[in-house]
């Protein structure tokens, strides 16, 4: 509502200025009364306006008010509309009577009435209720002569009766409505055909609302009148409405069959070129949407026969399409019921009377053959005989269509039954030879017996070949070539017989010897045999039988491959090797390796290398080792031909072609080495293969594999950039092809690869290619796959960094839409890209293209950016202040570093040539070293008994008596703290007694525990020292001892504490 109001406020159209003025006045009234601009407030204001007679005298004012009311009513509560129903209807009746000429006003009133009626409850539809009165008024408006009002009234009635207020499923007014419609159809007559045409619109309204009985009654009356009046316009409208009944399929099969029966009874005359297409279209709709084919097919086909006689090609084709469509939609059970009927009638229709429809009949027969299996194909024998006669007749016009139909006969019947009915007659002296059938057999045989080919067709081919030789001897070159060609055509059927062969175990042992013989002797037959063997080797059921003959066929095929370069032969060998054992493969491999090493001719070496390349995918570890050595030998050998080196590299690629996922990194490394050092212009044909694998590699789990895959793609781009073999745009198109992949994995890999290529080579790509690529990739922005979405973020980042600002600005809206869609799953990355976009575009330009939620994120990014800028400037000021006071701070820093006897003048700094000194750096002290002191070292220094030097400190004499800082135990045991603060007990040697030295070397018993602490003295500290007058120790460590808790040793342990705590005479 508010959106429409906003448009009205800004409208400058003359016919809407009045409405805009009324809206402004209503809003000012609402605002002056302090009310919120809610639908209820608008409703109340408009109602007040409508009740002013002076204002409503003007039709434009009334229209504007009612138009606004029609927008407000759907937004108000149902209870309010029901309570004001009577008042509204009185106002509407008054306006319709007063301004009956104003069509737009009445249409707007109808819209409001529809909204009111759709919210009425069931108890509001009494006989004399306001709702019933409003509905009947709308029904009567359906008879209006003005087309716009009549159409609007029909729409209102249809929407009301088809949308009853919940929980009702059937509208309460439906019985009254049916009585009204029935009365209208009963009153139709020839005198007022125009009004009758208008009444037909009720059929479309009633579909799905009335039951089958009521709907059939209306249609019966309409069809009855159609037969009486014979009016073209009435027929067209009737068929159009019946067409809608068929398309909506609300009723059952019985109703549909009755409808079709009525349609067939009132079929138009064949010569009526206006009505016939509409009638056929309606019948076709029945064929497309209904299912009672077995009941309806026979009468419908008999009705359509009349239209097959006409010379109107479109009518004949449309009739034939209906029959074909029904046959196509039938199931096997339904077709079996009408099969004999349709085949018998079609056969009788190939006469001069239906000459224009012969091609359509062939199409119908073709559809029938698809429904007939081979066991039931005997029913086609009589039709096949007829079609062979028609083909032999030179006057038949549709031979191409006939041959296509015969292909379906071959698939359905099989060659044995077909040839029995229509023999080939190819032997010399036979009449009516049919060599043209061989081309029909070639691609349409399946599930045939190979033994039939061996027993019947191979002898025929031999006889034709022998007769060709005899004719050649007689000097009849042309006739000889004809028979030779026919013989070859017979052999070409071998591949077709191998397709889904049904007797391979019985027939192949018999025919294998013949195949081997022909491979050796007849060069022109080899391709047929290769293709036949390939077809057999692709079938699992045939592999077991052919594997038995691998030792016979493989040597023969290898010998032929070393004399001729034939890709079909290599493909045949490859399929045969796939069923062989490793021992046999290694045996042939060793033979090939010996030959390729011994041969010096480039052409022969190349053929043998092709054979080795065929063997590579099937090599085990032993064979792979042999091949690796041979390939490296040719690569490192300077005398090797370039062709042989190239094929050696292909062998290396083939050896790692089926590597595990853990070895893909090394495979990528090989590709990288090839791309950087070995590839030449003739290797461009391998680019798509390598590029596809590298594109998939960028999605590998292993990080190094991903990095190397990107490097290979970049290296391939550099090759194109440096050598200019192809435009860079062609390279990008190769990658773009991956966007058509079926899996999200491939699409994501393509986007990542494009991102890297654009990052590296964006300056070499034409701007049109870039624009097209961006358009294609941004179309993926609506994908719900997370894998694709992550790749899109990477691509957008590259676009922002690499492409010019103008290009990004053109595509700013789709970029922001993608970022907005990914905000929920990739919030941090999206915020990062928002920050990058803020470097190029103003905040206002970005925020105007974002939703409310995305705007909040952008505002957050902006604030964070400003906060960092402020913190950065603050830190800069602090650094400048520190630099000003650096002369005062440096000596303090030196003191903190415990530089002894140092001042600023006694330090020197080491400076590197590559790294000059930076005195503003806090770590400058790490470059300093102190100058040696000029004081002389004391001579005649004292040493202790162990030879250690003794240095006197200035206050040593004062602290002589305070040497023992902590308790000494009688045994001399003590403890120390390590760097982590843990206490460690040990024995310290005494310098006063040799006896104690010996004791200190003894290991303490395992059950002994340290009981006292040793003294240790700080080097330059006076704290925690026992003075002369102190009674107790200032600080002591007393180790815990379980024995001290017992009564037996209590006195002994108490004496140790006498110098630490005061003795208590009372024991608790």
Residue 262 lies in a domain: no
pLDDT at 792: 84
d(CA 725, CA 182): 81
Residue pLDDT, tens place only, 124-158: 877 778 888 888 888 888 777 788 888 888 888 87
User: In the structure encoding, which two tokens stand for residue 339, read together?
Assistant: 């099969």
d(CA 537, CA 822): 50
- The alpha carbon dihedral of 467, 473, 478, 481 has a sign of positive
User: Using an 8 Å Cβ cutoff, are 27 and 33 in contact?
Assistant: no
Residue 347 lies in a domain: no
Residue pLDDT, tens place only, 519-572: 988 899 999 999 999 999 999 889 889 999 988 899 999 999 888 888 899 999
pLDDT at 907: 53
User: Using an 8 Å Cβ cutoff, are 402 and 391 in contact?
Assistant: yes
pLDDT at 757: 87
Residue 397 clears pLDDT 60, i.e. is over it: yes
DSSP secondary structure, 444-488, as one string: T--S--HHHIIIIIHHHHHHHHHHHHHHHHTT-HHHHHHHHHHHH
Higher pLDDT, 405 or 850: 405
pLDDT at 639: 66
Q: How confident is the model at residue 1012 (pLDDT cuts 50, 70, 90)?
A: very low
Residue 630 lies in a domain: no
Residue 1019 lies in a domain: yes
Query: Which burial class, exposed, middle or buried, applies to 231 when counting CB atoms under 10 A from its CB (0-12, 13-18, 19+)?
Result: middle
pLDDT at 999: 40
First-last CA distance in the chain: 94
Residue pLDDT, tens place only, 63-103: 888 888 888 888 888 888 888 888 888 888 888 888 888 88
Instruction: Name the percent of the chain lying above pLDDT 90.
Output: 15
Q: Strand runs (DSSP E) across 880-959, as ranges?
A: 907-909, 928-930, 942-943, 949-950
Which of 117-126, 375-384, 389-398, 1005-1014 is predicted with the least confidence, judged by mean pLDDT? 1005-1014
User: Using an 8 Å Cβ cutoff, are 203 and 218 in contact?
Assistant: yes
Number of domains in the chain: 1
Residue pLDDT, tens place only, 458-492: 999 999 999 999 988 988 889 899 999 999 999 99
**What mean pLDDT, rounded, does the chain reach?**
77
d(CA 249, CA 255): 10
Give, for 882, the enclosing helix (H) or strand (E).
Answer: helix 852-884
d(CA 12, CA 19): 11
Residue pLDDT, tens place only, 398-425: 999 999 999 999 999 999 999 999 999 8
pLDDT at 25: 84
d(CA 460, CA 437): 15
d(CA 322, CA 302): 13
Q: Give mean pLDDT, residues 106-129.
A: 85
User: In the structure encoding, which two tokens stand for residue 160, read together?
Assistant: 């009301």
Q: Which residues pair with 708 in a beta bridge?
A: none
Tell me the C-alpha to C-alpha distance, in Å, between residue 869 and each of 717, 836, 842, 863, 874.
40, 15, 17, 10, 9
Residue 1053 lies in a domain: yes
SS3 assignment, position 986: strand
pLDDT at 965: 40
Q: Give mean pLDDT, residues 17-26.
A: 80
Higher pLDDT, 668 or 608: 608
Residue 978 clears pLDDT 80, i.e. is over it: no
Prediction pTM value = 0.55
d(CA 439, CA 410): 11
- The alpha carbon dihedral of 404, 405, 407, 408 has a sign of positive
pLDDT at 1055: 64
SS3 assignment, position 689: helix
Kindly report the CA angle at 118 between 115 and 123, in degrees rounded to 5?
130
Kindly report the CA angle at 168 between 165 and 169, in degrees rounded to 5?
110
Residue pLDDT, tens place only, 1038-1058: 666 666 666 666 666 666 666
User: Using an 8 Å Cβ cutoff, are 297 and 343 in contact?
Assistant: no
d(CA 495, CA 299): 46
Residue pLDDT, tens place only, 704-746: 888 888 888 888 888 888 877 788 888 888 888 888 887 888 8
Numbers of helices and strands, H then E, in the chain: 53, 6
Which of 175-189, 440-454, 667-681, 1007-1021 is predicted with the least confidence, judged by mean pLDDT? 1007-1021
pLDDT at 199: 62
Name, of 481-490, 629-638, 781-790, the range with top average pLDDT.
481-490
Higher pLDDT, 430 or 683: 430
Residue 661 clears pLDDT 70, i.e. is over it: no
Which of 452-466, 609-623, 651-665, 772-786 is predicted with the least confidence, judged by mean pLDDT? 651-665
Residue 1013 lies in a domain: yes
Which of 670-684, 830-844, 892-906, 1039-1053 is predicted with the least confidence, judged by mean pLDDT? 892-906
Q: How confident is the model at residue 31 (pLDDT cuts 50, 70, 90)?
A: confident
Residue 767 clears pLDDT 90, i.e. is over it: no
Residue 467 lies in a domain: no
pLDDT at 261: 79
pLDDT at 900: 43
Residue 993 lies in a domain: yes
Higher pLDDT, 493 or 279: 493
- Domain limits at 1015? 964-1068
């Amino acid at each position: 509502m508010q959106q429409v109001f906003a448009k009205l406020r800004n409208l400058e159209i003359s016919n809407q200025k009045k409405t805009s003025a009324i809206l402004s006045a209503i809003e000012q009234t609402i605002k002056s009364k302090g009310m919120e601009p809610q639908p209820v407030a608008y409703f109340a204001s408009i109602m007040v306006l409508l009740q002013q007679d002076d204002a409503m005298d003007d039709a434009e004012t009334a229209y504007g008010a009612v138009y606004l009311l029609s927008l407000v009513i759907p937004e108000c509560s149902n209870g309010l509309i029901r309570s004001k129903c009577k008042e509204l209807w009185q106002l509407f009746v008054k306006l319709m009577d007063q301004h009956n000429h104003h069509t737009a006003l009445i249409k707007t009133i109808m819209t409001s009435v529809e909204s009111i009626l759709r919210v009425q409850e069931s108890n509001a539809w009494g006989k004399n209720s306001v709702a019933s009165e409003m509905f009947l008024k709308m029904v009567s408006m359906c008879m209006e002569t003005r087309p716009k009002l009549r159409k609007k009234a029909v729409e209102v009635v249809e929407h009301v009766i088809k949308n009853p207020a919940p929980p009702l499923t059937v509208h309460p007014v439906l019985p009254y409505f049916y009585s009204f419609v029935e009365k209208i159809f009963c009153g139709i007559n020839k005198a007022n055909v125009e009004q009758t045409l208008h009444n037909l619109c009720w059929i479309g309204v009633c579909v799905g609302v009335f039951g089958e009985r009521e709907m059939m009654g209306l249609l019966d009356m309409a069809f009855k009148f159609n037969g009486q009046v014979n009016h073209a316009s009435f027929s067209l409208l009737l068929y159009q409405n019946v067409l809608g009944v068929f398309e909506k399929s609300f009723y059952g099969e019985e109703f549909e069959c009755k409808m079709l029966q009525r349609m067939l009874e009132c079929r138009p005359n064949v010569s009526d070129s206006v009505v016939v297409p509409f009638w056929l279209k309606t019948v076709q709709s029945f064929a497309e949407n209904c299912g009672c084919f077995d009941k309806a097919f026979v009468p419908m086909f008999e009705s359509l026969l009349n239209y097959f006689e006409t010379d109107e090609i479109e009518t004949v084709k449309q009739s034939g399409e209906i029959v074909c469509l029904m046959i196509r939609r039938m199931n096997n059970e339904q077709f079996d019921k009408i099969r004999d009927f349709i085949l018998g009638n079609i056969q009788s229709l190939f006469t001069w009377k239906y000459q224009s429809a012969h091609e359509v009949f062939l199409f119908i027969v073709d559809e029938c053959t698809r429904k007939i299996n081979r066991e039931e194909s005997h029913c086609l024998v009589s039709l096949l005989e007829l079609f062979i006669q028609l083909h032999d007749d030179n006057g038949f016009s549709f031979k191409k269509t006939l041959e296509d139909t015969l292909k379906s006969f071959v698939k359905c019947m099989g060659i044995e039954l077909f040839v029995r009915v229509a023999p080939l007659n190819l032997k010399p002296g036979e009449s009516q030879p049919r060599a043209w059938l061989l081309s029909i057999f070639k691609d349409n045989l399946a599930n045939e017996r190979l033994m039939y080919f061996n027993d019947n067709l191979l002898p025929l081919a031999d006889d034709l070949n022998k007769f060709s030789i005899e004719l050649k001897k007689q000097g009849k070159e042309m006739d000889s070539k004809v028979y030779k060609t026919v013989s070859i055509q017979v052999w070409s059927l071998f591949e077709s017989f191998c397709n889904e062969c049904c007797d391979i175990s019985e027939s192949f042992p018999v025919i294998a010897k013949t195949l081997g013989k022909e491979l050796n002797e007849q060069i022109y037959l080899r391709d047929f045999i290769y293709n036949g063997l390939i077809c057999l080797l692709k079938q699992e059921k045939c592999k077991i039988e052919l594997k038995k003959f691998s030792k016979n066929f493989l040597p023969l095929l290898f010998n032929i491959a070393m004399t001729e370069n034939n890709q079909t032969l290599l493909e045949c060998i490859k399929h045969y090797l796939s069923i062989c054992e490793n021992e046999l493969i290694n045996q042939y491999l060793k033979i090939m390796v010996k030959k390729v090493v011994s041969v010096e001719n480039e052409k022969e070496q190349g053929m043998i290398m092709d054979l080795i390349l065929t063997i590579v995918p099937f090599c085990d570890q032993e064979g792979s080792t042999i091949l690796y050595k041979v390939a490296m030998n040719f690569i490192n050998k300077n005398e090797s031909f370039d062709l042989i080196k190239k094929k050696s590299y292909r062998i290396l690629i083939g050896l790692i072609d089926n590597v595990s996922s853990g070895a893909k990194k090394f495979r990528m490394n090989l590709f990288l080495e090839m791309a950087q050092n070995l590839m030449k212009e003739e290797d461009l044909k391998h680019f798509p293969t390598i590029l596809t694998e590298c594109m998939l590699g960028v999605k590998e789990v292993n990080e190094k594999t991903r990095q190397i895959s990107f490097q290979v793609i970049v290296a391939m781009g550099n090759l194109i950039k440096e050598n200019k073999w192809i435009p860079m745009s062609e390279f990008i198109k190769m990658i773009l092809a991956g966007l058509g992949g079926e899996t999200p994995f491939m699409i994501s890999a393509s986007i990542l690869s494009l991102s890297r290529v654009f990052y590296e080579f964006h300056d070499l790509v034409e701007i049109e290619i870039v624009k097209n690529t961006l358009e294609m990739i941004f179309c993926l922005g609506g994908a719900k796959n997370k894998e694709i979405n992550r790749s899109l973020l990477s691509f957008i980042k590259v676009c922002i960094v690499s492409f010019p600002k103008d290009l990004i600005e053109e595509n700013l809206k789709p970029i922001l839409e993608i970022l907005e869609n990914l905000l929920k799953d990739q919030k941090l990355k999206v915020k990062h890209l928002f920050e990058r976009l803020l470097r190029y575009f103003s905040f206002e330009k970005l925020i105007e293209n974002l939703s409310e939620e995305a705007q909040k994120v952008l505002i957050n990014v902006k604030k964070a950016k400003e906060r960092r800028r402020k913190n950065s400037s603050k830190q800069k000021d602090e650094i400048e202040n520190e630099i000003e006071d650096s002369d005062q701070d440096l000596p303090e820093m030196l003191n903190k570093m415990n530089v002894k006897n140092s001042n600023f003048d006694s330090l020197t700094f080491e400076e590197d040539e590559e790294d000059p000194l930076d005195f503003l750096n806090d770590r400058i002290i790490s470059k300093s070293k102190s100058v040696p002191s000029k004081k002389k070292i004391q001579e005649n220094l004292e040493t202790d008994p162990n030879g250690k030097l003794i240095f006197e400190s200035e206050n040593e004499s004062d602290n002589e008596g305070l040497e023992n800082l902590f308790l000494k135990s009688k045994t001399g045991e003590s403890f120390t703290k390590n760097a982590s603060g843990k206490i460690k007990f040990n024995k310290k040697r005494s310098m006063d007694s040799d006896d104690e030295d010996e004791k200190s070397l003894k290991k303490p018993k395992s059950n002994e525990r340290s009981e006292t602490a040793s003294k240790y003295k700080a080097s330059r500290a006076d704290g925690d020292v026992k003075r002369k007058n102190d009674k107790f120790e200032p600080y002591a460590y007393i180790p815990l001892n379980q024995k001290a808790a017992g009564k037996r040793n209590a006195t002994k342990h108490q004496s140790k504490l006498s110098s630490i705590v005061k003795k208590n005479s009372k024991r608790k």
